[in-house]
Homo-oligomer: A and B are copies of this chain.
Amino acid sequence: MPELRKDPIHGRWVIISTERSRRPSDFAPEERRPIGGFCPLCEGNEDRTPPEIIALRDNGTLPNSPGWSLRVVPNKFPALRIEGELNREGDGIYDKMNGIGAHEVVIETPSHYETLTALPLKAIENVLWAYRSRIIDLRRDERLRYVLVFKNYGVAAGASLEHSHSQIIALPIVPTRVREEIEGAKTYFLYKDRCVFCDIIRQELSQRSRVITENNSFVSIAPFASRFPFETWILPKTHHPSFEHAEPSSYALAAQTLSDTLQRLNQVLDDPPYNYIIHTSSSPELDQEHYHWHFEVMPKLTKVAGFEWGTGFYINPTPPEEAAEYLREAK
């Protein structure tokens, strides 16, 4: 059983993942661990994943058989497990709980060599609808306090399977980074009576120097204090705290902006490894006024090293205004 442990100094939680337990010899440098070979996510190999939770299927096809365009399955090596009661316990000065949660894989296409960036808009929209549906379902479980959607693309960004997929992890705790973001936005709101994200959007749309692309409902920007070269945020122009309760009509436009942004990154940086995450409210009723859901896209171009670990500061060698200019000009 995986275990959640809390650092007594920082209050930071970690997942000790016994399911994925690794011995020293498992940490060979990556060049010695090529991806490739048999792919459990490909069409035809449905019996090599745990049974599907939801899928988009052709009429008349059976669950866990070919004929799908998107599947969501439990992760075969989950970081957290859904079964059991949440037990919190102490061990001297330390605090821990058993690793209750969910870990799912969204298989974005049946084809091994299609990337999300190259998928038709409708297929990307379907991926977003799948995220929405899974978040809503997982939030019904009262043990779970936050659901994170994320994607790792490329070995350097932490992907261990080549086949295009994203992941969903539901946690029994609102994680630090989300809590800090929500608290930061709340502090700003209490001071200004305005949403900080709405203020960012207003300033960016007026200054234009960090705007990458936009449509009627979404804008993609290089954030003012970008941690990483070519970091990009995609924000809904109209205030809304939660991704999963957004207007149904907005997913098509979100897919369009995401696709456009990924294509620009792909062109300027030559198929870079990247991570993206969706940040949505942990409690839409409480966060209604001050929180604003968004995507954060982080190309993996530099190494996080001692300075970053020691300080929480980041050194970014590419000013976001320059990154935005490259990305705006990409065709």
Partner-B contacts on A (CB < 8 A):
3, 5-18, 20-24, 27, 29, 31, 79, 91-94, 146, 148, 150-152, 156-159, 167, 169, 171, 175-178, 180-181, 184-185, 188, 196-197, 199-200, 203, 207, 223-227, 229-230, 268-270, 272, 275-279, 296, 298, 301-307, 309-320, 322, 326
- Contact B315 A17, beta carbon cutoff 8 Å: yes
Contacting residue for A27 out of B150, B272, B311, CB 8 A:
B272
Known A-B contacts A226-B14, A229-B27, A307-B167; A175 and B5 likewise in contact (beta carbons under 8 Å): no
Question: How long is the Cα–Cα vector from A226 to B8 in the complex, in angstroms?
Answer: 11
Closest 4 CB pairs of A and B: A158-B305, A150-B306, A177-B312, A277-B310
- Contact B158 A306, beta carbon cutoff 8 Å: yes
- Contact B14 A313, beta carbon cutoff 8 Å: yes
Known A-B contacts A167-B306, A306-B167; A10 and B316 likewise in contact (beta carbons under 8 Å): no
Question: How long is the Cα–Cα vector from A275 to B15 in the complex, in angstroms?
Answer: 21
Question: Which residue of B is nearest A207, CB measured?
Answer: B92
Q: How many copies altogether?
A: 2
User: Closest CB-CB distance, A167 to chain B, in whole Å?
Assistant: 7
- Contact A318 B225, beta carbon cutoff 8 Å: no
Write out the residue numbers on chain B whose beta carbons fall within 8 Å of the beta carbon of A156.
29, 303
Question: Which residue of B is nearest A169, CB measured?
Answer: B307
Question: How long is the Cα–Cα vector from A89 to B230 in the complex, in angstroms?
Answer: 24
- Contact B27 A310, beta carbon cutoff 8 Å: no
Known A-B contacts A7-B225, A93-B199; A319 and B16 likewise in contact (beta carbons under 8 Å): yes
- Contact B178 A314, beta carbon cutoff 8 Å: no
Write out the residue numbers on chain B whose beta carbons fall within 8 Å of the beta carbon of A230.
24
User: Closest CB-CB distance, A171 to chain B, in whole Å?
Assistant: 7
- Contact B21 A317, beta carbon cutoff 8 Å: yes
Since A14-B227, A14-B316, A157-B306 are in contact, a sample of 19 more A-B pairs with Cβ atoms closer than 8 Å, ordered by chain A residue number, is A8-B199, A9-B197, A12-B312, A17-B317, A23-B322, A24-B326, A27-B302, A29-B156, A93-B196, A93-B200, A94-B225, A146-B311, A150-B305, A151-B306, A175-B311, A178-B310, A180-B312, A277-B309, A277-B310
User: Closest CB-CB distance, A97 to chain B, in whole Å?
Assistant: 12
Question: How long is the Cα–Cα vector from A148 to B11 in the complex, in angstroms?
Answer: 22
Question: How long is the Cα–Cα vector from A268 to B287 in the complex, in angstroms?
Answer: 48
Contacting residue for A269 out of B21, B24, B278, CB 8 A:
B24
Write out the residue numbers on chain B whose beta carbons fall within 8 Å of the beta carbon of A227.
12, 14
- Contact A92 B203, beta carbon cutoff 8 Å: yes
